Amino acid sequence: MEQLETKRLILRRFAEADAADLYEYASDPRVGPAAGWPPHKSLEESLEIIRTVFQAPHIYALVDKASGKVIGSAGFVDRHKTLLPGPDDEIGYALSPDYWGRGLMPEAVEELLRYGFEELGLQTQWCGHYDFNDKSRRVVEKCGFRYRFTDRAWVELMGEERTELHYALTKEEWQAR
């Protein structure tokens, strides 16, 4: 099991012991709906997400080095389940509002880009956001992704259709930055 590290973060696999930290930020209505999922309603729901969704390969708990607390999640989402073109994975993420505005998510995404290109051999990495999610848009822009297209998609967990903006970064573009 790989563990990734940045100046301020450790990216590691989720453990069941992380359920309380996950619930703390995932129950906040500012977090999940912007990413396409409803706020967690219980500690048990957060534990179940750790046992299922977060067991997928390359999904990481974002651990604040200073406190040891899990403050978010980030990783590669299987794009083969989506309508997006291309063979490679999409980066997805969520962060506790207590840590917004500190540049932590761009720091984590930069490490995922490095890992994806250098260690996983990806040729293109995708990232996207809903049209109203300006915080996610800023992460995408800071990390050098290039806009590719916009579409409308049904967001099953939210029970609604949304406009999505999709961005990609090729290995060549990443190396040229």
Query: For position 84, what pLDDT does the model report?
Result: 43
Averaged confidence pLDDT in the chain: 92
> How far is the C-alpha of 16 from the C-alpha of 158, rounded, in Å?
25
- Predicted confidence (pLDDT) at residue 151 exceeds the cutoff of 50: yes
- Predicted confidence (pLDDT) at residue 7 exceeds the cutoff of 70: yes
Distances 36 to 15, 108, 161, 170 between C-alpha atoms, Å: 23, 20, 10, 25
Query: For position 79, what pLDDT does the model report?
Result: 55
- Predicted confidence (pLDDT) at residue 166 exceeds the cutoff of 80: yes
Which is nearest to 104 in space by CA: 62, 137, 67? 62
Degrees, nearest 5: CA angle 42-43-49: 95
In tens, the pLDDT along 12-45 reads: 999 999 999 999 999 999 999 999 999 999 999 9
Mean pLDDT over 93-106 rounds to 97
Query: For position 57, what pLDDT does the model report?
Result: 86
The domain segmentation of the chain, as residue ranges, is 4-176
In tens, the pLDDT along 55-99 reads: 988 999 999 999 999 999 999 876 555 444 444 569 999 999 999
Other beta carbons less than 10 A from residue 118's beta carbon:
11
> How far is the C-alpha of 144 from the C-alpha of 110, rounded, in Å?
9
3-state helix, strand, coil in the chain (%, to 5): 35, 30, 35
Topology given in CATH for the domain delimited by 4-176: Aminopeptidase (3.40.630)
pTM equals 0.92
Mean pLDDT over 131-146 rounds to 96
In tens, the pLDDT along 40-64 reads: 999 999 999 999 999 988 999 999 9
Query: For position 77, what pLDDT does the model report?
Result: 79
Higher pLDDT, 82 or 104: 104
Query: For position 88, what pLDDT does the model report?
Result: 55
